[in-house]
Amino acid sequence: MNEEKIAQFKQWIDNSDNVVFFGGAGVSTESGIPDFRSVDGLYNQSYDYPPETILSHTFYIRKPEEFFRFYRDKMLFPDAEPSMPHIKLAELEQCGKLKGVITQNIDGLHQKAGSRHVIELHGSVLRNYCERCGEFYGLDTIINREGVPTCKCGGRIKPDVVLYEEGLDENNINEAVRLIKEADILVVGGTSLGVYPAAGLIDYYRGDKLVLINKSSTPYDKKANLLIQDSLGKVFSAL
């Protein structure tokens, strides 16, 4: 059954030059980065505080030492390499079919694979800025320092990731909405579509080729024109 659906997916992609991809944690689990919300993911491990609390703006302000201890331990994967979906998406962009990637991930693997037009809804661990003077710092600074990382000016260095309680970047939202509205094919992959407002962006799609690829069910399954409940790696390797 899935083989037929994958063949249909390939045919749609072959015949289109306006594809947009919206992805979540499942894209990066193929690179060995754990999914927050899976059975074996972070959200089911035991800590002094639940990850949702630690990864909140309030916790970051009140308990920065604990925040950075968790952040370094569980959120950074500097050795991860792009997976089959990352690589195939970059190839689709290079040959003019894919107009953009909208990702909920913060690992920078789409760019590492060669994708250029990437909208990072939740930011990136690769970018870090001093809260006082705005100085940029790379990932190495966060990894190699202990405790709360500070700038040479004395300010705290904050990862450019969207924490709980923080709003998404308006420019990113506007560009994501534009891409989705104009898309011929919208491919949604590796996301439970449970995180808002990001998941609500799917509602802006106006076409009739909504492809949903996810191992487990999502609230949008019935809206999909093509539902493939399989691994992204298997599906994208067929392209």
* Cβ-Cβ contacts under 8 Å for 5 (sequence gap 6 or more): 226, 227, 228
By annotation, the residues acting in catalysis are: 122
In SS3 terms, the chain reads as CHHHHHHHHHHHHHCCCCEEEEECHHHHHCCCCCCCCCCCCHHHCCCCCCHHHHCEHHHHHHCHHHHHHHHHHHCCCCCCCCCHHHHHHHHHHHCCCEEEEEECCCCCHHHHHCCCCEEECCEEEEEEEECCCCCEECHHHHHHCCCCCECCCCCEEEEEECCECCCCCHHHHHHHHHHHHHCCEEEEECCCCCCCCHHHHHHHCCCCCEEEECCCCCCCHHHCCEEECCCHHHHHHCC
